Amino acid sequence: MGNLRSEKEEVLELQERKILEPEARAFHNTGSAVIHNRTNLTLYVVDGENQYYKGFIDPLGERSFNGVILPWCDNSNEVFNKAFQFYSYLGGASYVGLFYMFQNWKDDMVYYTPWGNQTLYENKVFAGAPPSSYIDIIVEIVKGSNTPTPRAIKLW
């Protein structure tokens, strides 16, 4: 079996070799179709760029986000102000920030970054989907961790 490389690795290599210039490639406006909550927490999600798009997701539930585009971010300030913000809802007016989620125009990928970090952009983590028109976002507890973590699944 050959060496399997991710689509992200191939795109980044082509950019480094100057074969695929950022200006020459098509950017995907990645929309969020459904957010799945596979935790025992009640999640609250807000689009920082347009706070009209927000909502609660019950434990082990899901919510359509109607294809709302993940905000494009290129630095920590943009992540803080524009990205999707995921919270754990504790009841009343109590929330705990979990992570931010956004897309990066430099490589056209979806990332998340942990809450409460001063260098939000620099500490971004690839969420798992190649450039996509629509993704589902799955929030789950990763084995060996107590922290809810998102991953993106390409739909089309």
**Global confidence as pTM:** 0.80
Q: Cα torsion for 62, 43, 152, 47, to the nearest 10°?
A: 110
Which token pair is 42?
């009640």
Query: Tokens 């798992």 identify what position?
Result: 128
Per-residue pLDDT of the chain (156 residues; tens, 9 = 90+): 445 565 566 655 555 544 444 444 456 788 899 999 999 999 999 999 999 999 999 999 999 999 999 999 999 999 999 999 999 999 999 999 999 999 987 888 899 999 987 889 999 999 987 788 889 999 999 887 888 889 888 876
Q: How many CB atoms lie within 10 A of CB 89?
A: 16
CA distances from 56 to 46, 63, 64, 130 (A): 9, 8, 11, 27
User: b/e map of 22-33 (b: 16 or more CB within 10 Å)?
Assistant: eeeeeebebbbb
**Terminal C-alpha separation, the chain:** 27
Residue 62: which residues within 8 A CB-CB, separation 6 or more? 34, 35, 36, 37
Nearest alpha-carbon partner for 156 in 136, 130, 134, 137 = 134
Q: What is the pLDDT of residue 153?
A: 85
Q: What is the pLDDT of residue 43?
A: 97
